[in-house]
Structure 1
């Protein structure tokens, strides 16, 4: 009898221990997201628009999520390498993408056969900002106005060059749109692609390139310091920070208004609903974060936080814009 009682007692003790272990493991499994650092992939080089936006987002997200958020610059192939890395990441919310116009709208639209993803392969979290776009030259350039630059393109464009953050980025597509409007069939300037707008802006300062068109975030401090000069912006109205710079519409190039930079946050496909909801809530907090707003505006960008469905619609329209432009230029899946 005593033997039987001891067996029963032992079984009860083991069961209780197992229950405690199971309960502990379930508690660990149910720890709320995030319970470890989150990585944000910026698919372009340090110092450019993607990098600045990623770092501003990471600082604010860390406050909103209560967990470390780190930025990793994964460059190459005009943003495809970093973007593809997020597609392949586990759908757990610990790897996010700082999405950009070039890597998420332009490349899927114009190079669908070689881009490793489609524009809507991701889980959309939300947009972050818009980047006013313009054309810039070195402060010592002989081109004092946009019309000076256009005049040079018409007469000697073939001997000119311009810097970009890579082929099929907004730095590339804006000039392509302009060249199309100017009908520069045999006077198209040569593109010099870099790994990001940070490098492209420094090439302009160094005199290695003659002009650049792109989101102004990477150029604005150099414009304010007097190293570079802005000739035109594509915003509907003149920028408050540069009221002397005319808009594309004022200059007779209204079609350039569709070219604009933007940043958004995407996740891998099939993110769980609870992770999406947590990130959506964090984005709402970030939208009202004075420090994030100030940091975003300091880069020359405009806060533009929108929820997932509005973000999907916005990106779809951007994709369609560049698909249409690619068809007009006859460059869909062409060898660049």
Structure 2
């Protein structure tokens, strides 16, 4: 076999290396130059994780360099504060972003002054979706309506348990909001903590707890699979399209339940570089016309609600005020 001269071999290697490098960075070398890490601040299988993986699947195609992609990293703990704080301290180069959740991004800052970040201490890129609150029991549980579950809680104070993802999270605050609105003590049920909404659902399916209030996206699979029975969906409007057999909060005369709702947004560290910020604002706007992202978001029971940065800031500010007021009414602060 005839060997290539050293100079020819070097030229051939260079010719192969340059296209490979260009392919990795995109045709124009645009943002991002490497895969973006999207931090989901709760465990796999929950609402934050589902939304993060849906975003990671569809959003990169709308970036200047769609080939770089996005990877999801679950950093659970401290009611979502660990993952959220990690992003707050990350380099503002656009390589680390946060799937912001209502619990860590609004409820914790509203209720706990020890929260290690401010609610507005991020570069807000946009709101993504909202997800209603749903109250569930096991399919074989004796409570066939929301009213009968409330009656059992009233008759057996502290006799029933519910799954939570920790203090000052939607799963905990939502249930205690139900207790207070129904005239029950805040410890009417025994809270059992889990690392994420997916684990909380698994605990209910396994019979470790008696009921839970959770994001619809966490529970829809088990409800449709016949493992859980949904008693009420926290909507003031008509019934949810995925659960037409389940009454809304208005129908069961408990509209206060609609005050708590899950939502997802995309955040970056403070001081995000302008090119990365512009790229993500454009990508989020482009999701309006992305049938795949829209369908995947609706499939888990969420309502797409894409807002630009300033409207997202106004939305989150109102959420912080709502949960601060709710915490005062519940005696939590």
When the two structures are superposed, what TM-score results if normalisation uses the length of structure 2?
0.88
Q: 1:47 aligns with which of 45, 48, 53?
A: 45
Residue 307 to residue 186, structure 1, CA distance change in 2 (3 Å): closer
Q: Distance in 1 between matches of 2:186 and 2:115?
A: 29
Q: Is the 8 A contact 1:37 1:70 kept in 2?
A: yes
Q: How does 1:154-303 map to 2 (within 5 A)?
A: 154-185=154-185, 188-236=188-236, 237-303=238-304
Query: In structure 2, what is the equivalent of residue 83 of structure 1?
Result: 84
Residue aligning to 1:98: 99
Gaps of 5+ in 2: 1-24
Tell me if 1:314 matches 2:312: no
Higher helix share: 1
* Distance apart, 1:187 and its partner CA: 5.8
SS in 1 for 2:158: helix
Shift of 1:186: 7.5
Distance between the aligned counterparts of 1:185 and 1:300, measured in 2? 31
Q: Structure 1 stretch 241-250 or stretch 215-224: which is displaced more?
A: 241-250
Q: Secondary structure at the match of 1:235?
A: coil
SS at match of 2:124: strand
Paired position in structure 1 for 2:123: 123
The two structures have a TM-score, normalised by structure 1, of 0.88
Computing the radius of gyration over CA atoms, which structure comes out larger, 1 or 2?
1
Larger CA deviation: 80-89 vs 64-73: 64-73
User: 1:31 Cα deviation (Å)?
Assistant: 4.6
Instruction: Say if 1:130 and 1:263, in contact at 8 Å, map to a contact too.
Output: yes
Provide Cα deviations, 1:107-138, integer angstroms capped at 9, x if missing partner: 000012x2111111011000111112110000
Segments of 4+ moved more than 2 angstroms: none
Contact 1:155/1:187 (<8 A) preserved: no
**Aligned residue pairs: how many?**
303
- Which residue matches 2:143? 143
How far 1:171 sits from its partner (Å)? 0.6
Q: Which moved more, 1:265-274 or 1:194-203?
A: 265-274
> Which position in structure 2 is the counterpart of 1:56?
54
Partners of 1:127 and 1:256 in 2: CA distance: 22
**Using the alignment, how far apart are the partners of 2:183 and 2:204 within structure 1?**
25
Contact 1:45 1:73 in 2 (8 A): yes
> Contact 2:87 / 2:98 at 8 angstroms: preserved in 1?
yes
CA distance in 1, matches of 2:186, 2:104: 29
Segments of structure 1 that go 5 or more residues without pairing to the other structure are: 1-27
Q: Quote the RMSD (CA, aligned, Å).
A: 1.4
Mapped to 2, the partners of 1:184 and 1:300 lie a distance apart of: 29
1:331 aligned residue = 332
Match for residue 17 of structure 2?
Answer: none
Q: Distance in 2 between matches of 1:86 and 1:186?
A: 33
Shift of 1:167: 1.9
Greater shift after overlay, 139-148 or 166-175? 166-175
